[in-house]
Chain A
Amino acid sequence: MTRLLKVATFLALKSIVRGNVGIILLTIFMLVLVTMNLLFVPGLINGATMSMNTILIKTYSGDIIIEPGGDDTVISHADDLAQSIESIDGVIAASARNNINAYVTFEDERVNCVVIGIDPAQERAVFEVADSLIEGRYLDSRDRGQILLGVQLAGADLDDIELYSSSLRHVHAGDKVVVTYSNGIEKQYTVKGIFDTGFIQTDVQAFVTDLEFNSVMPNMNNKATSIRVKLEEGVDPELIIERIASMRSGLAFQTWDETAGLVESMTESFILINQILNVVNYLIAGITVFIVTYVDVVNRRRQIGIQRAIGIKSRSITISYLIRALFYAVIGLIIGILAFKYVIIPIEARHPFEFPFGPAYLTTKPAYTARMAFILLSVSLVAAFIPVWRVMRIKILDAIWG
């Protein structure tokens, strides 16, 4: 076996070194393109998914959502519970929230939305909505009669936003809107600020201080419809949930990914598209190697016949072609991966793809890259083997003299 490999390697090296440089470079170039393409789509999907997940956590769900369990509709002693949660190692902050459905009216427009009562300081610690203001200012703890609107709710004369036609259209910071709560109370508010997080489910919400909320719903004092928890990076949410559950019974928990229904279905679609594109890419790689090897063995049929006639084993000749195919694929992979990592990713980072939920940055996962490389090498080997195997079945004399 050693001799077979030695002769095969010798033949492959001579063929590469003294072969047609143009064809070798073109083949490698094709495999570089295939490699970059195989990395690009999943890289974009990973980037988009990460971007979506990040924005979901930072503006909508937090890392953990705590809700009343069983028949309860509210969490009692919510402030105490939030404080206790914040004392757990790995928890950055916890914010108690109260929700109520309402209609917001401005001029002739009337829009249904959820108004959320919050402690602005705690919300700032858990979410980044305060950093997404496009008009006005964020709420202060003592604010009364002031409301914060999402851009998809306010409209803010931005007619290119997704839900503009169903928004209040022309509301800006400083305008006055009327809120009709589901309990029948109607109040006028001054719009203190408008935020645009890029995440539609957040941008259709409205916020008031818990002070204001308690004036509308006095029975909700020190109660919450949910508590949102922000964790330190890398902390396992399940461990924190266990700790919280041991503090207080009768609560229901959700992690951020359990709330990501829309994001998940988008990710699944992306993955399916990626798989289809990958099959096409592997086919292109296989066909490229097949054509190059096929043309080569047809052109060298006589030389292969001579090699066999002088005693070179068919297996050695076959392995020499497989080594060549591996060479093309390995070089293509190395250049493709390096070019993707050190050229494409930095360029894209400077000019990221913009999605409705924010910019998506290309990323690579080592496990995926390794799997892709393994499949590409396997495809190249099979693609090279087929034409060589066919030529090896031809009689020596037919190979030499046709």
Chain B
Amino acid sequence: MLEVRNLSKMYGLGDVQVRALDDISFSIADGDMVCIMGKSGSGKSTLLRQLGLLDRPTSGEIIIDNEVVTKLSDDARATLRLQHLGYVFQEYALLAELTAHENVYLPGMMLGDKGVDFKKRAKELLDLVGLGKRLRHYPKELSGGEQQRVAIARALINNPRIIFADEPCANLDTISSRKVMETLVGLNEEMKVTVIFVSHDPEDKRYARGLIVLSDGKMVKEGAPIQ
């Protein structure tokens, strides 16, 4: 269970304070697939970064499995990200010097669970996202859609309970977008991974079972998407 209570985030722009998130509260059940929508600048990505523990909110709490994670140290947050959370960035965010295979198994290497062959698991995950034959390719040798699928495989390497995807199809063509979204849906349905993704494309609502709509940093809607 992921729970958000009265979450606010202020940014300082010179002397001006901008309220990017304003008193947001909601909860997401395990195994859910939730889409965060809103216009550009509404605070979608800011919210996802708070949930993914990449940033610290100005006030409010994020609770994962009854543990308040907002006050954890940087090191503890890094450990939590490594063990339980997977993050898919809008711009793929792969490491250029590593092959697709290495990009995927690096977080597994960091976690280093005894008995887990993370190299083998990385290969299986790349098979799962349809890139089993491109293990030795570097990011620059892959298309945008392929890079995003490598990023998804990387997010899965440590068996995360929640995957955060920040506009995962923003830079992709229609076919690649569909493949990426179908991959996320498949993970949610088959592996019961909670998926929370941000999108500005109203069409993407159809992949989700829950919807959060933001406007000017405020949550204006929570619930099931209207098909």
Contact = CB atoms under 8 A, between A and B. Distances in A.
Contacts of B93: 306, 309, 400
B64 to A, nearest CB: 15
B97 A19 contact: yes
Interface stretch (B76-84, B167-175, B203-211): B76-84
B98 A312 contact: no
B61 interface: no
Given A3-B109, A10-B106, A14-B102, A314 B78 contact: yes
B55 interface: yes
A185 interface: no
A2 B110 CA distance: 10
B82 A311 contact: yes
Contacts of A310: 81-82, 87, 106-107, 154-155
A309 B91 CA distance: 13
A2 B111 CA distance: 11
Nearest to A396: B54
Contacts of A226: none
Interface in B87-119: 87, 89, 93-98, 102, 106-107, 109-112
A5 to B, nearest CB: 11
Contacts of A3: 109-112
Interface residues of A, number: 24
Dominant SS among interface residues on chain B: helix
Contacts of B112: 2-3, 6
Contacts of A307: 95, 106
A311 B107 contact: yes
Contact of A397 (B54, B109, B111): B54
A7 B106 CA distance: 8
Nearest to B95: A303
Contacts of B109: 3, 6-7, 10
Contacts of B54: 309, 396-397
Contact of A312 (B83, B94, B96, B107): B107
Given A308-B78, A309-B93, A397 B110 contact: no
Interface string A295-337: 0000000010011111111101000000000000000000000
A87 interface: no
Nearest to B112: A3
A18 B106 CA distance: 16
B201 interface: no
Interface string B41-71: 0000000010010110000000000000000
Nearest to B154: A310
A250 B112 CA distance: 79
A313 B81 contact: no
Contact of A311 (B49, B89, B95, B111): B111
Contact of B55 (A6, A312, A396): A396
Interface of A: 2-3, 6-7, 10, 14-15, 18-19, 303, 306-314, 316, 395-397, 400
The 4 nearest A-B residue pairs measured at CB: A311-B82, A3-B112, A18-B97, A311-B81
16 contacts: A7-B106, A10-B106, A14-B98, A14-B102, A15-B97, A303-B95, A306-B89, A306-B93, A309-B54, A309-B81, A310-B82, A311-B81, A311-B83, A312-B82, A313-B110, A400-B89
